[in-house]
Structure 1
Amino acid sequence: MKSSSASARAPHPAPPHAPQHPPEAAAPNGSAAPHGASLADVAVLMPAYNGQADVERTLASFSESAPVHVLIVDDGSTPPLVAPSLPNLSVEIVRMPQNGGIERALQAGIEALAARGFRYAARIDAGDLTVPQRLAKQRAYLEAHPHVAALGMWAQVVALDGTPLFMLAPPAEPHAIRRIRFLRACFVHPSMMLRIDAVLAVGNYRVAYRSAEDLDLFLRLMERYDCANLPELGLYYELNESGISATKRRRQIASTLRLQLHYFNAANPYDWLGLAKNLLHFVTPYGALRRIKRVVFARDPQPRAGG
């Protein structure tokens, strides 16, 4: 889960195993994403802080059969970000007066898209890459499932040089997500497509839970709507561990613990397990966790389910 606006990084090539034009997978309702379906009510929402090259590389990965509108929220970049000129994409930039963090950038982005009449906001972060027809597939699912307010997809986690590390394959069904929502990450935030009216109905992104703004939003959405995942690859998610500070990590864990306590269900054993897991993360030094990750990756280099 990325919890701050993307920082500046050197560009790297697309993951070597990323398919250029993968087969179009069937949606869970049995129908494939409609070929050439309109995306006039969909906008890509990307908060970004510096990293012009990452922004351009990420947007260049979009391949849809219909024109795509992109809203970049420039979170105080120096120099300011410039809208790239790319085929089939119209790119607009909203500039924040100063760097205020991803929570405020996402708030502003949702409000701007609502004012422009868009129904759906498709999240992505600078540095990540998308798969062809992702937007059409997600929109088709949401049109067919009006009670689903947020829809994610699976993600292949890659290193900064594009090397595949592991697969994030969270559960697809809303009931399973509600059951284990605190035991593991049930959504890959940059893979999400959101109903803008539902996001606004529950109060938009908030600053109250810094570095856990996505979990805060999803928990509030699940009180009134369903949230789900398409069980197929939708994103290549760039893991940038060197950019994660210990201060930010502890803030994220503290925010998550506050959310766990607020929504805690004593009758759900997975809530207990999730609380224990997060407390363990809180007291374990970040360096030790990174060493554990390296061992796990070395033993299991193939894509796997993760959370």
Structure 2
Amino acid sequence: MPDAQPQENTPLVSVLIPARNAAATLGETLDSLLAQSYRDFGIVLVNDASTDDTQQVCASYIRRFPKGRLQVLSGLGNGISAALNTGLASIKSPLVARLDADDLAEPLRLERQIRMMDRNPDWLLCGTEVSVIDVDGQVIDHMECPRTSVETRKRLYEKCCLYHPTIMFRRDQVERVGGYRSHFDGAEDYDLYLRLLEHGKIGALNERLVRYRLHPGQVTANKDRPYRMVADMALLCALARMHGIAEPCFDSISLSDDIALALRAEVQEHGFSQLSPKVARHMAKRIKKANASLEKIKGLLFHTNATAGNIKEAAKVLLV
């Protein structure tokens, strides 16, 4: 489907950046946008209740961009989804590119993604591969994406395989599915991808167009990986929608109280029939690691695999 034409003085794409206490890295992030080969873009930066010098860094960069192209909004500190929705509400551009306040866009990033979205009007979202950098900006690794939209779809129904700071999406389509959902904070991107898949295609450029910074404060750096359980719940919600079942009813409070219990209850009610054996087994492992009893779940998982003839997976259940 073609993008709506931007209004006069509205850029084709806006870069959406949530920032909370990001003064140490934000300048480098904005410098990477100043170096973009594609110039018709705006920036909507949500200063999400920062207590450091983030606001001062923003102010120092406003004049370095064309007039009106760097817009700084104030967030209430209610989490990343709330901050992103605050930014989205002010964006008129047909395309939105995400970037975090500690990551860097390669000079060709916007140009390449806009071209890909133009060539694939049925794509609702496009990600890229990333170079992983450490706190000092040194490249230490890289992460790849699936090579086709078909493979991306398959992988997304197993796990999140796209990197949030790399994505570019069609604003009207994200608005259509309701934007970001706060009770999935930590896996808010994965929940969004799964909802978009119900309306169109998602793909990725197999180029490293973002430098993704790893540091100890990240949600995904938590060794106990509670965000993975939130992602598990997002996947169960997507499978429920796919099969005409009401989404599990839960909120951020119940999840924060005990995500393992919420996940266990949902799996016990619906079983593992819609999950791949490998995904189901890893889900059960995460529930066990969180010290939630899973004997009934192990029974369901063993029975489902044994009945289907998945003897190897059934045997692995005994080790969970």
Same fold (TM over 0.5): yes
Retained in 2: the 8 A contact 1:149–1:198? Answer: yes
Cα offset, 1:182, TM superposition: 4.3
Q: Distance in 1 between matches of 2:153 and 2:40?
A: 35
Q: What is the percent sequence identity of the aligned residues?
A: 26
Cα offset, 1:277, TM superposition: 2.8
> Which of these two proteins has the greater Rg computed from alpha carbons?
2
2:136 aligned with 1:157, yes or no?
no
Distance 1:112 1:122, change over 3 A: same
2:49 aligned with 1:76, yes or no?
yes
Distance 1:152 1:56, change over 3 A: same
Instruction: Name the residue aligned to 1:57.
Output: 28
Across the aligned residues of Structure 1 and Structure 2, the Cα RMSD in angstroms comes to 2.6
Structure 1 unaligned spans of 5+: 1-37, 286-307
AA matched with 2:55: L
Instruction: Name the residue aligned to 1:280.
Output: 285
Instruction: Name the residue aligned to 1:191.
Output: 166
Q: For 1:245-300, what per-residue CA distance to the aligned partner results, in whole angstroms no more than 9, with x for missing partners? A: 759841x222112122223487877x332232344345458xxxxxxxxxxxxxxx
AA matched with 1:78: T
Cα offset, 1:53, TM superposition: 3.0
1:95 aligned residue (74, 80, 84) = 74
More helix by share: 2
Q: Distance in 1 between matches of 2:139 and 2:289?
A: 26
Trace 1:256-275 onto structure 2 (pairs within 5 A).
256-264=231-239, 271-275=276-280
1:40 aligned residue (11, 21, 40) = 11
Q: What TM-score results when the alignment is normalised by the length of structure 2? A: 0.69
Retained in 2: the 8 A contact 1:260–1:275? Answer: no
Q: Distance in 2 between matches of 1:138 and 1:233?
A: 12
Cα offset, 1:183, TM superposition: 3.6
Q: Distance in 2 between matches of 1:73 and 1:108?
A: 7
Distance 1:159 1:278, change over 3 A: farther
Retained in 2: the 8 A contact 1:48–1:75? Answer: yes
Cα offset, 1:122, TM superposition: 0.6
Q: Distance in 2 between matches of 1:142 and 1:155?
A: 18
Q: Distance in 2 between matches of 1:165 and 1:278?
A: 29
Trace 1:1-307 onto structure 2 (pairs within 5 A).
40-62=11-33, 63-65=35-37, 66-79=39-52, 81-82=55-56, 83=58, 84-85=60-61, 87-88=64-65, 90-96=69-75, 98-113=76-91, 117-244=92-219, 246=222, 249-250=225-226, 252-264=227-239, 271-281=276-286, 283-284=288-289
Q: For 1:45-82, what per-residue CA distance to the aligned partner results, in whole angstroms no more than 9, with x for missing partners? A: 00010122311111101222324311101111125623
AA matched with 2:70: V
Q: What TM-score results when the alignment is normalised by the length of structure 1? A: 0.71
Q: Distance in 2 between matches of 1:202 and 1:259?
A: 14
Structure of greater relative contact order (alpha carbons < 8 Å, 6+ residues apart): 1
SS in 1 for 2:182: coil
Retained in 2: the 8 A contact 1:67–1:88? Answer: no
SS in 2 for 1:261: helix
